[in-house]
């Protein structure tokens, strides 16, 4: 009985993880500007790959697999969050214009108000 639950849960996690990555890709296409895309990918990729790894762990849980899996999940979450931030910052510095409806663009206002220290971003 236990291994049927194990395979069902593991396979379900794999499908959900892949679906999350696919939804990130769909978001990549349909979202209006660069910043929403970076946000979508950072979130989707982090969770999607983490779910895939947990599904893999559920399917064959040996001890060293679990240790490697936990480290991989932590590394993956760190990767997608910090990477997303770094890329969004790089995009802003190289002039990726936010979509029109980004009303409160504090960074631009700061740059306009005190141009002296715009390098502080």
Answer for which of 9, 43, 59, 108 binds another protein (CB under 8 A) is: 59
Annotate each residue in 80-109 with x if it binds another protein (CB under 8 A) or - if it does not, as one string.
x-xxx-xx-xxx-xxxx-------------
- How far is residue 30's CA from residue 41's CA, in Å, rounded to a whole number? 12
State phi, psi for 60 to the nearest 5 degrees.
-135, 90
- With CB under 8 A as the rule, give the number of residues binding another protein: 51
Answer for which of 1, 2, 4, 24 binds another protein (CB under 8 A) is: 24
Answer for which of 19, 61, 113, 114 binds another protein (CB under 8 A) is: 19
Residue with structure tokens 């108000």? 113
99 membership: H or E segment, kind and range: none
Instruction: Take residue 88 and report the two structure tokens written for it.
Output: 């969004």
Backbone Cα Rg of the chain: 19
Question: Under the rule (CB under 8 A), what is the footprint of another protein?
Answer: 7, 10-11, 14-15, 17-19, 21-22, 24-26, 28-29, 34, 37-38, 41, 45, 48-49, 52-53, 55-56, 59-60, 65, 68-69, 71-72, 75-76, 78-80, 82-84, 86-87, 89-91, 93-96, 119
């Amino acid at each position: 009985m236990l291994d049927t639950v194990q395979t069902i849960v593991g396979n379900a996690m794999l499908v959900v993880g892949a679906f999350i990555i696919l939804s990130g890709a769909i978001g990549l296409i349909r979202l209006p500007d660069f910043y929403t895309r970076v946000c979508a990918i950072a979130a989707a990729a982090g969770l999607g790959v983490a779910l895939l790894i947990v599904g893999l762990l559920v399917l064959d849980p040996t001890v060293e697999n679990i240790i490697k899996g936990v480290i991989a999940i932590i590394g993956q979450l760190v990767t997608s969050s910090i990477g997303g931030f770094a890329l969004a910052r790089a995009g802003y510095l190289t002039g990726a214009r936010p979509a029109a409806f980004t009303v409160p663009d504090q960074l631009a206002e700061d740059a306009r108000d005190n141009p002296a220290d715009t390098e502080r971003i």
